[in-house]
């Protein structure tokens, strides 16, 4: 006969109901009791019947993850696997599984979310982006379904749990870093302003130049392709006074720009400095290694998952937002320039 909850309770000198609450990670059970009961469960080789427990609780013990694009495309972005690892670490601790959207279009992704909710396939959802006029967000709010966002929402800010960086501050600081080493003509390469992250980072870039008394801004908003990198570099080379530095907000776009610069015979940082965001292994292994804003994607994912589990345990809790700090990692893609070099 297998080990039962009663066997665990007897050895741990607690009630069987306490063992059940430990399995469910109930917040009113002390950490000391949880650790003692879990240790005895391991010693006795007790494995809870999660399927039966979830049926009783009407829980799927699964969290839905909604990407802004297809999962295949998202996996190319170094941010996504790092954030997913953070979510996975927390959710594994809490015995939750993950279900990813796999649609090829925004409409397909939206329909998958509807199926997740109506089919009770997931207990809650983490949305990995914040976009204007997003039907997924509207649907989740209308259904009053538990969810957390990675990114500051564009509407109902006080009613939505979210985890984010201070992207205005982060972009301002990386631009100020370039200004501090002599650059005055600094280009900015961002993305579609329907996404909140791109609005905020562009704002930070503008603020830094304004505070430094630099009137001229040079902004590009492009999707991430090899062709878009080539197009931007072509435009830079046609300028009478081309920028001495570039702020990119995405590692893949940064690599696209690097490739196009080298194809034209330009050297980094000797001819032009370049920076980016995220700080994955890609930035460290690039040639040259890239100066970046480390946005701590693992921690963003971990905090988003932690917030959602807490919301599931206490649906009436006060909605809050968490800001994960950022830092600048200086590497060889930038160098200090003289006043004479500041204008080419």
Tell me which of 7-16, 19-28, 185-194 is least confident.
Answer: 19-28
Domain count within the chain: 3
Q: Are residues 221 and 312 in the same domain?
A: no
Q: Which residues contact 237 (CB under 8 A, 6 or more apart)?
A: 264
Task: Examine the pLDDT at 344 and tell me if it is beyond 80.
Answer: no
End-to-end CA distance of the chain: 82
Instruction: Find the CATH number of the domain harbouring 252.
Output: 3.40.50.2300
Residue 56 belongs to a domain: no
Cα separation, 38 vs 36, whole angstroms? 6
Strand order in the sheet with 321-323: 97-100, 62-66, 124-127, 147-150, 161-164, 321-323
Residue 105 belongs to a domain: yes
Q: Are residues 275 and 174 in the same domain?
A: yes
Distances (CA, A) of 232 to 96, 254, 283, 344: 44, 11, 20, 18
User: Which tens digit of pLDDT belongs to each residue from 142-188?
Assistant: 989 999 999 999 888 888 999 999 999 999 999 999 999 999 999 99
Contact by Cβ (8 Å): 255, 77: no
Residue 336 belongs to a domain: no
Q: Which residues contact 222 (CB under 8 A, 6 or more apart)?
A: 189, 191, 228, 231, 232, 253
Q: Are residues 76 and 17 in the same domain?
A: no
Cα separation, 133 vs 154, whole angstroms? 8
Residue 142 belongs to a domain: yes
Q: Are residues 179 and 266 in the same domain?
A: yes
User: Which tens digit of pLDDT belongs to each residue from 234-268?
Assistant: 999 999 889 999 999 999 999 999 999 999 999 99
Cα separation, 70 vs 29, whole angstroms? 40
Q: Are residues 272 and 131 in the same domain?
A: no
Global confidence as pTM? 0.82
Residue 172 belongs to a domain: yes
Residue 55 belongs to a domain: no
Q: Are residues 37 and 151 in the same domain?
A: no
Task: Examine the pLDDT at 298 and tell me if it is beyond 50.
Answer: yes
Q: Are residues 291 and 310 in the same domain?
A: no
Residue 344 belongs to a domain: no
Ramachandran angles phi, psi of 226, nearest 5°: -60, -40
Q: Are residues 194 and 301 in the same domain?
A: no
Q: What per-residue confidence (pLDDT) applies to 288?
A: 97
Contact by Cβ (8 Å): 127, 147: yes
Instruction: State which residues form the domain around 222.
Output: 167-295
Contact by Cβ (8 Å): 43, 4: no
What's the mean pLDDT when you consider all of the chain?
A: 90
Q: Are residues 115 and 73 in the same domain?
A: yes
Q: Are residues 191 and 286 in the same domain?
A: yes
Task: Examine the pLDDT at 58 and tell me if it is beyond 80.
Answer: no
Give the residue carrying structure tokens 């199926």. Answer: 115
Q: Are residues 118 and 267 in the same domain?
A: no
Instruction: Find the CATH number of the domain harbouring 35.
Output: 1.10.260.40
Task: Examine the pLDDT at 38 and tell me if it is beyond 80.
Answer: yes
Provide the pLDDT confidence category of residue 72 given band limits of 50, 70 and 90: low
Residue 341 belongs to a domain: no
Q: Are residues 192 and 291 in the same domain?
A: yes
């Amino acid at each position: 006969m297998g080990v039962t909850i009663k066997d665990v309770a007897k050895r741990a000198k607690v009630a069987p109901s306490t063992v059940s609450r430990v399995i469910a990670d109930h917040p009113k059970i002390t950490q000391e009791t949880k650790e003692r009961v879990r240790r005895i469960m391991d010693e006795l080789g007790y494995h809870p019947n999660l399927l039966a427990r979830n049926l009783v609780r009407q829980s799927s013990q699964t969290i839905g993850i909604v990407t802004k694009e297809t999962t295949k495309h998202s996996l190319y972005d170094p941010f996504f696997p790092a954030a997913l690892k953070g979510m996975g670490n927390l959710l594994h601790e809490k015995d939750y599984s993950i279900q990813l959207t796999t649609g090829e279009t925004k409409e397909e992704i939206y329909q998958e979310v509807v199926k997740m909710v109506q089919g009770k396939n997931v207990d809650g959802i983490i949305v990995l982006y914040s976009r204007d006029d997003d039907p997924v967000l509207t649907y989740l709010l209308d259904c009053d379904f538990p969810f957390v966002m990675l990114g500051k929402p564009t509407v109902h800010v006080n009613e939505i749990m979210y985890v984010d960086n201070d992207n205005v501050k982060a972009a301002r600081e990386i631009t100020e870093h370039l200004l501090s080493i002599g650059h005055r003509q600094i280009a900015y390469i961002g993305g579609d302003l329907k996404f909140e992250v791109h609005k905020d980072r562009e704002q930070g870039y503008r603020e830094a130049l304004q505070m430094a008394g630099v009137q001229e801004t040079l902004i590009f908003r492009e999707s991430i392709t090899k062709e878009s990198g080539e197009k931007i570099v072509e435009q830079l080379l046609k300028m009478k006074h081309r920028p001495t530095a570039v702020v990119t907000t995405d590692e893949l776009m940064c690599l696209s720009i690097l490739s196009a610069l080298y194809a034209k015979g330009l050297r980094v940082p000797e001819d032009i400095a370049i920076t980016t965001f995220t700080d994955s292994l890609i930035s460290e292994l690039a040639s040259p290694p890239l100066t970046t804003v480390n946005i701590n994607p693992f921690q963003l994912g971990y905090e988003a998952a932690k917030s959602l589990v807490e919301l599931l345990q206490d649906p009436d809790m006060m909605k809050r937002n968490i800001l994960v700090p950022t830092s600048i990692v200086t590497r060889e893609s930038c160098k200090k320039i003289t006043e004479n070099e500041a204008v080419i």
